């Protein structure tokens, strides 16, 4: 028997509503943590094996208060935007809760961002303080921020005045490095003696409806939009995600997915805290051997990942050397799930209760999730049923709800819908109508039991290894190349990542360029996963009679040229 009531489904229309058998949690993020601290003070909350860090819920709460007090002493106040640019590190989670404690707005900066993307994000939402790691993989964060704000080399700590980043006043470096004069040290700030009375006075006037988080999601206009989320949005979504999997304080969740994304910080962190469960972060980035080692050593009962992560773990040479018998459940999400991968996860990783989830950043993120007791056939061919306190309908091009079993654009309404795009009311109104329906842009089919299958996208978004990629954004950057006259970007099938990025380019007359020229140029402007793998030069692009590019023609031609085939997915 499912823990949820069956979602009511209209016999005639593709419109479903989630159960309301339990109330929404009217809590702030810090109140969520307070509840876990009170109920489970001595239970392990955070484990970072790579950093040798283990904190109980009591220790975690005390560390959050010290950091929150340190931020207040720097002048960070309610509503200030605090950016965080880092892989999965302890400082990330501490900052998430410390900013929520004082009602500063946490701004998630993608660890893969390059200079152009970073500058846009920081300027667009007016980030006042930026917390950053030194580097991650090939990304030199210190080098990039100094490129944007060379004034850091002469500024007083906390008093930055940067021409290109006029709102930024302080840069807080993780660790205790001191070689850049204008930077503050995270370790020193986090060691500030806590002023609990002062913090409690602030927390007492906070509302669950306060904006607390901005996550950037690329748009078809070519530039990222800042989806603004409240405590209510993400506290409840994390709660219902882990409730669906039957989480208890005894569960130990392995989180190799990035914290900058809702998958890590909402479904992972807030979901675990809502149940008093333990969070295990196997490394700063994803390494399959490292994840398997952490699962076995920490006896994890649950695991999150995108399909490519699960495939990488299953195909690791030493896979069978790891004891994964403690695993019970988890989530596979972020990209279309290959059916065969799902079956192998169930049979070879002991995850008999693994679930599939679907959503988007603007909906906090999850709208649909399969249940642990759903038949395996439903869990490998659908994204499950609607979450509690949410409504979904599928509409046609005229805005009319389509019949059950018919493809339509998926629209979501309920507590999870974002407050809006930061400082972009027009774009918000284009996505969320007057009745509160969020148009996702995804095409779906809902069956007569309420199970949903995502069948495509209304527009051109592609998903590579769990990352949503919007062609127009890449096109905008490639248009900056001096040789590019016209460019169209689209996705083609890929066995490893689900989809890969392809670009067709028309060069300006008399100017030449090579495929490597284009890729090298792109690498300096955008995250690695957005850089086109396939670049082709064409004398002209296929267009309709009204001048619209026919991406499907380009896609079909590339599939034929490369000898690709569509990936069979759930």
> What domains are there in the chain, each with its CATH number?
54-215 (3.40.50.980), 462-562 (3.30.300.30)
pLDDT above 80 (res 72): yes
Q: Please tell me the predicted confidence (pLDDT) of residue 546.
A: 43
Output the six-digit token pair for 229.
């989320």
Q: What is the dihedral of CA 112, 115, 118, 123, to 10 degrees?
A: -170
Distance (Å, whole) CA 504 – CA 543: 13
Q: What is the pLDDT, as a whole number, of residue 219?
A: 46
Q: How far apart are CA 299 and CA 301, in angstroms?
A: 6
Q: Which residues contact 477 (CB under 8 A, 6 or more apart)?
A: 116, 522, 525, 526
pLDDT at 9 > cutoff 50? yes
pLDDT in tens, 163-206: 999 999 999 999 877 789 999 999 999 999 999 999 999 999 99
pLDDT tens for each residue of 108-138: 999 989 999 999 999 999 999 999 999 999 8
Burial of 447 (0-12, 13-18, 19+ CB in 10 A): middle
Answer yes or no: is pLDDT of 307 > 90: no
pLDDT value, residue 343: 87
More confident residue, 248 or 549: 248
> In which band, very low, low, confident or very high, does the pLDDT at 334 lie, cut at 50, 70 and 90?
confident
The pLDDT value given to residue 337: 74
pTM for the complete prediction?
A: 0.85
In whole angstroms, give the CA distance from residue 432 to residue 411: 9
Asked if residue 132 lies in contact with residue 174, where contact means CB atoms within 8 angstroms, the answer is yes
**The pLDDT of residue 61 is above 60:** yes
**What's the pLDDT at 220?**
39
Q: How far apart are CA 29 and CA 214, in angstroms?
A: 15
DSSP at 88: S
pLDDT: which is higher, 320 or 9: 320
| Angle subtended at Cα 291 by Cα 175 and Cα 237, rounded to the nearest 5 degrees | 80
CA-to-CA distance for 215 and 258, rounded, in angstroms? 13
**Does the pLDDT of residue 7 top 80, yes or no?**
no
Tell me the Cα Rg of the chain: 23
List, for residues 204-253, the tens digit of each pLDDT value: 999 999 999 999 986 434 578 999 999 999 999 999 999 999 999 999 99
In contact, 505 and 474? CB cutoff 8 Å: no
* Weakest mean pLDDT among 29-38, 158-167, 370-379: 370-379
**Token output for 570:** 């759930």
Q: Three-state DSSP class for 97?
A: helix
Q: What span, in angstroms and rounded, lies between the C-alpha atoms of 160 and 185?
A: 14
Most distant CA atoms of the chain, gap in Å: 71
The token duo for 463 is 């998903």
What is the SS3 assignment for 511?
coil
Highest mean pLDDT among 338-352, 355-369, 484-498: 355-369
Question: For strand 408-414 and strand 81-85, is the pairing parallel, antiparallel, or unpaired?
Answer: unpaired
Mean pLDDT, the chain, whole residue set: 92
The whole-number pLDDT of residue 221 equals 44
For residues 395 and 458, give the distance between their C-alpha atoms in angstroms, rounded to a whole number. 11
Those residues whose C-beta lies under 8 Å from the C-beta of residue 73, and which sit 6 or more positions away, are 192
Cβ neighbour number for residue 354 with a 10 Å cutoff: 26
For residue 455, what pLDDT band results from cuts at 50, 70 and 90? confident
Which pLDDT score is estimated for 233? 98
Nearest Cα neighbor of 307 from 326, 335, 287 is 335
End-to-end CA distance of the chain: 24
State pLDDT tens for residues 475-504.
Answer: 888 988 999 988 899 999 998 999 999 999
Round to whole Å and give the CA distance between 110 and 128. Answer: 17
Tell me: the pLDDT tens digits for 457-481?
Answer: 677 778 899 887 878 788 888 988 9
The C-alpha atoms of residue 419 and residue 441 are separated, in whole angstroms, by 18
Instruction: Tell me how crowded residue 320 is: count the other CB atoms within 10 A of its CB.
Output: 9
Q: Is the pLDDT of residue 4 over 60?
A: no
- Measured in degrees and rounded to the nearest 5, phi and psi for residue 130 equal -125, 120
Query: Which H/E stretch holds residue 488?
Result: strand 484-494
What is the share, in percent, of the chain residues with pLDDT greater than 70? Answer: 95
């Amino acid at each position: 028997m499912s823990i949820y009531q069956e979602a009511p489904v209209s016999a005639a229309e593709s419109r479903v509503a989630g159960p309301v058998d339990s109330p929404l949690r009217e809590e702030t993020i810090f109140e969520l943590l307070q509840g876990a601290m009170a109920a489970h003070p001595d239970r392990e909350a955070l484990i970072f094996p790579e950093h040798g860090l283990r904190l109980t819920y009591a220790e975690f709460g005390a560390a959050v208060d010290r950091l929150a007090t340190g931020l207040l002493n720097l002048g960070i106040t309610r509503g200030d935007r605090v950016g965080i640019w880092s892989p999965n590190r302890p400082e990330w989670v501490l900052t998430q809760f410390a900013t929520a404690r004082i009602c500063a707005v946490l701004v998630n900066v993608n660890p893969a961002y390059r200079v152009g993307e970073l500058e846009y994000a920081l300027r667009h939402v007016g980030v006042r303080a930026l917390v950053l790691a030194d580097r991650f993989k090939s990304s030199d964060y210190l080098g990039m921020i100094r490129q944007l704000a060379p004034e850091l080399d002469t500024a007083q700590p906390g008093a930055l005045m940067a021409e290109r980043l006029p709102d930024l006043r302080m840069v807080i470096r993780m660790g205790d490095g001191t070689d850049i004069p204008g930077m503050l040290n995270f370790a020193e700030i986090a060691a500030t003696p806590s002023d609990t009375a002062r913090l409690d006075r602030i927390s007492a006037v906070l509302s669950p409806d306060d904006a607390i988080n901005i996550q950037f999601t690329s748009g078809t206009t070519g530039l990222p939009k800042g989806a603004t989320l409240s405590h209510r949005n993400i506290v409840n979504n994390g709660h219902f995600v882990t409730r669906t999997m039957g989480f208890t304080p005894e569960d130990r969740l392995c989180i190799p997915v990035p914290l900058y994304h809702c998958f890590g910080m909402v479904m992972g962190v807030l979901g675990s805290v809502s149940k008093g469960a333990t969070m295990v972060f196997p490394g700063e980035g994803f390494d399959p051997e490292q994840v398997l080692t952490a699962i076995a050593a920490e006896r994890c009962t649950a695991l999150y990942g995108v399909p490519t992560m699960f495939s990488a773990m299953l195909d690791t040479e030493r896979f069978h050397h790891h004891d994964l018998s403690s695993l019970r459940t988890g989530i596979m999400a972020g990209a279309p799930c290959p059916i065969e991968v799902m079956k192998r996860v169930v049979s070879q990783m002991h995850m008999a209760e693994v679930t599939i989830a679907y959503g988007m950043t603007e909906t906090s993120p999850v709208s649909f999730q399969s249940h642990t007791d759903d038949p395996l056939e439903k869990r490998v061919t659908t994204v499950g049923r609607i979450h509690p306190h949410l409504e979904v309908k599928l509409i046609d091009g005229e805005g009319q709800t389509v019949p059950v079993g018919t493809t339509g654009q998926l629209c979501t309404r309920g507590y999870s819908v974002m407050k809006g795009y930061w400082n972009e009311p027009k774009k918000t109104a284009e996505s969320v109508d007057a009745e509160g329906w969020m148009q996702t842009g995804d095409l779906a089919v809902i069956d007569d039991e309420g199970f949903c299958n995502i069948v495509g996208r209304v527009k051109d978004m592609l998903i590579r290894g769990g990352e949503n990629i919007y062609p127009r954004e890449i096109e905008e950057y490639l248009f900056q190349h001096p040789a590019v006259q016209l460019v169209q970007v689209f996705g083609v099938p890929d066995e490893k990542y689900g989809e890969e990025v392809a670009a067709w380019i028309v060069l300006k007359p008399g100017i030449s360029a090579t495929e490597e020229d284009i890729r090298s140029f792109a690498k300096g402007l955008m995250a690695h996963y957005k850089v086109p793998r396939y670049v082709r030069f064409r004398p002209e692009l296929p267009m309709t009679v009204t001048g619209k590019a026919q991406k499907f023609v380009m896609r079909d031609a590339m599939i034929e040229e490369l000898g690709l085939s569509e990936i069979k997915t759930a």
